[in-house]
Chain A
Amino acid sequence: MLPLLALLVIWEVVVRAFDVSPRVFPSIAPVFNAGVEAIRDGTLIRHIGASLGRIALGTLIGIVVAVPLGIAMGTNRAVSTFFTPLLRFFSVLAGIAWIPIATLWFGYGFGAITFVIFNAVFFVVAYNTLLGVTGIAMPLRHAAASLGATRWQLLTEVLLPGALPNIVTGIRTGLGFAWRGLIAAEMIATNVGLGYMLFVARDFYRTEVIVLGMIIIGLIWLLIDRLLLAPLERATIERWGMVRAA
């Protein structure tokens, strides 16, 4: 916490010492006031709500569709060798590169943005799930089968747990792409959301609103990371001993 406080002090001192114009960079007080004002008139909550709603919906659909598909593709060797390069290609494209065509197909607004988030998460998670399932040692599957495991047991007790570390890695990467895609898409294609808030403030040179938005974006990502991703990783990847805890 101390280094961040020091950063605040440096910010204020630099702005005062060099007499920086508020059109270039604001000092702390206007940012704080902009925050209070935005909370009071309800716009901040509306923007945050819109952004979070979109990312939650897109991510949820993405994961729910991607994991079963990834596992289904991974169980059969011929099927997986066929789909691996395809998914790799599309996971490379996932996210921002879809903004132009998404806005054309769905129009500017909710549909296009949610689609961009969905496909950012979907392709990356599906690809990683596929990698995870194909990475499970064949003897493990044979062992389970010869001990009389049904297909369902094989799925829930061998394939899914074995692929879980990869799935979680996929979710982290996909969500990172999706979060950036969300901000970019909101700048381009909507009239509500954090990205839109930043981009409109730019038109009026309201740097205090821009900086406020940047801080909020940073804080939300830190919260997502701490409350959602880190516990997931602790429960899977680190437990499996694949990552040394930082």
Chain B
Amino acid sequence: MNAHTGTAPVSPWQRLWGAYVRWTARYPALASLVPFVPVVALWAAVAQSGLFPPVFFPGPAEVVQKFGTLMANGMLPAYLEDSVVRLAAGTAVGLAIGIPLGLLVGLSDRAHRALWPVLLFFQAIGDIAWLPILLIWFGFGLTTMTFVIVYTVLFPVVLNTVLGVRSVPLQLHRAAQSLGASKARVIWEVVLPGALPNIMTGLRNGLGFGWRALIAAEIIVGTSGIGFMMFDARRAGSVVEILLGMIVLGVLWYIVDSWVLAPIERATGERWGLVTR
């Protein structure tokens, strides 16, 4: 039992810290959850203290309660589904246009000369600035929102694909060709894998901008979705739903980022030894 006698006494804090280190080493997910505990506690304390009027600054308990009611009456799942489906559809279309376009502009000097400045300019206009004219063209509806997301995802993907394609050394093209590879095979087996890390970077940037554009579009177009829920709550002056919406968005992105994007990036960029993190 008392095998430790003779060594310096271990303070309870050190024990706690040791336990924390052991548990987070065993379950890495814990390390990204535990820091939120004191933040939520602080939030609860500030809300409880009455420093701000509770209408403007509700505590975590109310938000959890609201989460329960909105889950039970099916509103939150329905809105969440709307937002996620819009984002997924927009991203899929954006990738389907962006990667081939990027290959074209990256591989052909003529296409590069003709399209590169145009791409840079349209990328600079930015997705949200398109909203007013899209509303005139397509009205308040799904087409407008899909267009905005496709637009947002498209440019980072195209620009990064071009960078990736151009970073593949010419010798690799020539080596594959001299071994008898057809043009299609060179693209499929040399250019595309070489550009993949950049394409992933483009996708990550595009998604980061894309879901912000989605929130803005949902606020302004205002038919359904998490952004709509938040702004509708704002009109009613209900901070609880706004906070809930923000937390849902944050958690959602956290999940997409660490379960979808990060593994793909590990499979491409880090395998190629291009990321140093």
Contact = CB atoms under 8 A, between A and B. Distances in A.
Contacts of B246: 93, 97-98, 101
B114 A3 contact: yes
B132 A1 contact: no
Contacts of A92: 249-250, 253-254, 257
Q: Contact residue range for chain A?
A: 35 or more
B79 to A, nearest CB: 14
**Most chain A CB neighbours (cut-off 10 Å) among B56, B122, B125, B205:** B125
Contacts of A6: 114
A180 B230 contact: no
A236 to B, nearest CB: 16
Nearest to A7: B118
A218 B277 contact: no
**Most chain B CB neighbours (cut-off 10 Å) among A90, A104, A198:** A104
Interface residues of B, number: 58
Given A89-B254, A184-B220, A211-B133, A217 B125 contact: yes
A7 B117 CA distance: 10
B220 A187 contact: yes
A244 B126 contact: no
Interface stretch (A39-47, A59-67, A219-227): A219-227
A95 interface: yes
A185 to B, nearest CB: 9
Contacts of A24: 136-137
B176 interface: no
A213 B212 contact: no
A184 B216 contact: yes
B175 to A, nearest CB: 21
Contacts of B114: 3, 6
A113 to B, nearest CB: 13
B134 to A, nearest CB: 10
B215 to A, nearest CB: 5
Contacts of B137: 24
B184 to A, nearest CB: 27
Contacts, number: 161
Given A99-B219, A180-B209, A210 B121 contact: no
Interface stretch (B64-72, B94-102, B236-244): B236-244
A83 interface: yes
Interface in B34-65: 35-36, 39, 56
B144 to A, nearest CB: 12
A179 B126 contact: yes
Contacts of B219: 96, 99-100, 184, 188
Given A92-B254, A104-B242, A180 B127 contact: yes
B8 interface: no
Nearest to A99: B219
Given A85-B35, A218-B125, A104 B56 contact: yes
Interface string A194-223: 010011011001010011011101110110
Interface in A1-42: 1, 3-4, 6-7, 23-25
Contacts of B133: 25, 202, 207, 210-211, 214
Contacts of A89: 36, 250, 254
A244 B124 CA distance: 21
A84 B257 CA distance: 15
Nearest to B117: A3
A86 B35 contact: yes
A23 B36 contact: no
A198 B227 CA distance: 21
Nearest to A83: B35
B212 A222 contact: no
Contacts of B205: 173
A93 B249 contact: yes
B115 interface: yes
B132 A201 contact: yes
B163 interface: yes
Given A3-B117, A23-B136, A217-B126, 17 more contacts: A84-B35, A85-B33, A86-B36, A90-B250, A92-B257, A93-B250, A96-B215, A98-B246, A99-B231, A104-B237, A105-B56, A177-B208, A184-B219, A184-B220, A214-B125, A214-B133, A217-B129
5 contacts: A96-B216, A180-B213, A218-B124, A221-B126, A246-B163
Interface of B: 31-33, 35-36, 39, 56, 113-118, 120-122, 124-133, 135-137, 163, 167, 205, 208-209, 212-213, 215-216, 219-220, 227, 230-231, 233-234, 237, 239, 242-243, 245-246, 249-250, 253-254, 257, 276-277
Nearest 4 A/B pairs, CB to CB? A85-B32, A202-B132, A184-B216, A218-B125
